Chains A and B, each alone.
Chain A
């Protein structure tokens, strides 16, 4: 809040904010509107914001046309496994990185930064060859392995921030009281870290749920594919797509990550900030 703000400035600020609201919201509202429109209205040359005869036909048709449930199940398995595994293996390492400065944690931090800059082709071609040798192409396990490593940089990044937010004095006090390191970790540090760990896992879940490129390359058959890949099957050749079912399926695919994101949004921004500011 600025110290003093004149009336005209305030009016200008509200006008600007309104423009942002419209810009951010209108494509999403249009997606919803399209999802509930019956076929004749979708063909109309003068589309309306509110469907005149709202219908659920598009949703039914979407499920008929593509194996959406199967795809959602695949996405769920991949995202859930990636989220849980990533956090389980990242938390101890993040603890070391946050508490002890060593060559290893410097290298890990360097890797976190560098891994953000690499174009994924350079990673996916060798991974494709390796996973092929292991007969893990077109399997969810192959994809999960890739997702875990792909989620690790930001999981470490967020978790290091959360660990640093736990006062070192608390651990020291426990040590003075005679608790070993493991006990200190389990009974003092872990409970304080728990919300951050959950937030990190959910964030890893969301990014895996939304991921497209690796899934496109690694999953070949429709019954193995995840939701984002199956969604692209609605896009016919040369834009000849069935708008209604396309919108309906796209809308449904968004809901889980949207809901989860709303739940953990504050923690994510907090975690990003903690990681960014203190490093």
Chain B
């Protein structure tokens, strides 16, 4: 395998960022890369571009006429689609409402798990459960918890003398908060594990030095722990926000967007538009708007945090 050993040599001499050396190196590399690259291009990049293109057409399911370009018509329609913007607003409330408490709770749990506590292994084991469960099962499980009569939540509230049971998931005012609580529960483990991993990268000596200097727990957290944790915290928060904004299965099972659209996240809206009403072009336009707005929000957020950041 002369082609191959040429590559190893270039890897040995060159720095990690070294330029490729000649056609031999390229042939070996392509051989390794193509099995993954072809599916990525055919089934991911291609469809995404196709999807964006569809947003500018009147594509519909099951019709005989051929699809026409309609320019920005779908986007103009979307601009005036009050229901879509309402679902967009709900999506943002949901994404923030889940991401922020999720982060705070996960940080607390990660700090606890980083201590030398006795029940630590149990907490770690339990924290896996929501992560490993199918979202559909998480939704079903919480429907059982929220059940007005036979659910444990209302029974506990009755026992504590706090009202006598309501249907949390179908109440106009309670549905969104109830769904958000499930979102927080379901996503906490992943965030905890990421933060815990970040915490375990913080050098212990720094903590000890700070403690010797007489720094209290809060000051140690602010001056030692947080700066080290910040990059991990920032990226996990940004990812959580996007994932939450784009989520589907949990709310589909819990409320299917009800009552009266109060929990209809953008993905549920777009799904209905595409696969119930067959409006592919219009739904694709929704997808494009979702991507665009999310990117802008994230860019602003990341620029603000990184620009004002004092670490690194």
Contact = CB atoms under 8 A, between A and B. Distances in A.
Given A122-B284, A125-B283, A149-B44, A92 B36 contact: yes
B218 to A, nearest CB: 12
A4 B37 CA distance: 53
A31 B136 CA distance: 13
B131 A261 contact: yes
B57 to A, nearest CB: 11
Interface residues of A, number: 107
Given A213-B248, A269-B197, A261 B109 contact: no
B92 interface: no
Contacts of B173: none
A121 B129 contact: no
A213 B12 CA distance: 46
Contacts of A44: 150
B132 A152 contact: no
A116 B239 contact: yes
Contacts of B118: 14
Contact of B40 (A95, A118, A152): A152
Interface in B127-172: 127-138, 140-145, 147, 149-152, 155, 158, 169-170
Given A20-B109, A122-B51, A276-B232, A96 B29 contact: yes
A24 B35 CA distance: 41
A11 B133 CA distance: 32
Contacts of B208: 3
B220 A2 contact: yes
B11 A125 contact: no
Contact of B108 (A16, A119, A126, A152): A16
A126 B253 contact: no
Contacts of B109: 20
Interface residues of B, number: 119
Given A30-B141, A100-B29, A120-B267, A93 B37 contact: yes
B93 interface: no
Interface in B1-20: 1-5, 7-9, 11-12, 16-18, 20
Nearest to B49: A126
Interface stretch (B69-77, B78-86, B285-293): B285-293
A227 to B, nearest CB: 8
Contacts of A27: 138, 141-142, 144-145, 185
A144 B115 CA distance: 42
Interface string A149-193: 100100010000000000010011001000011111000000000
Nearest to A101: B17
Interface string A61-87: 000000000000000000000000000
A141 interface: no
B136 to A, nearest CB: 4
Contacts of B100: none
Contacts of B217: 2, 9
B48 interface: yes
A175 B1 CA distance: 12
A277 B199 CA distance: 12
Contacts of B54: 125-126
A194 interface: no
A181 B5 contact: yes
Given A21-B123, A24-B129, A116-B239, A180 B1 contact: yes
Q: Which of B123, B128, B152: most chain A Cβ within 10 A?
A: B152
Contact of A123 (B44, B145, B252, B294): B44
B68 interface: no
A102 B150 contact: no
A115 interface: yes
A90 B294 CA distance: 28
A60 interface: no
Given A20-B109, A119-B270, A239-B170, A93 B36 contact: yes
Interface string A244-276: 001100110110011011100100010011001
Nearest to A174: B8
A48 B232 CA distance: 42
A17 interface: yes
Contacts of B147: 243
A68 to B, nearest CB: 13
Interface in B245-264: 245-246, 248-249, 252-253
B178 interface: no
B144 A31 contact: yes
B8 A181 contact: yes
Please list the 5 inter-chain residue pairs (A to B) with the smallest Cβ-Cβ separation, ordered nearest first: A181-B4, A122-B287, A261-B132, A92-B32, A210-B134
6 contacts: A1-B116, A101-B17, A126-B284, A253-B137, A258-B132, A262-B132
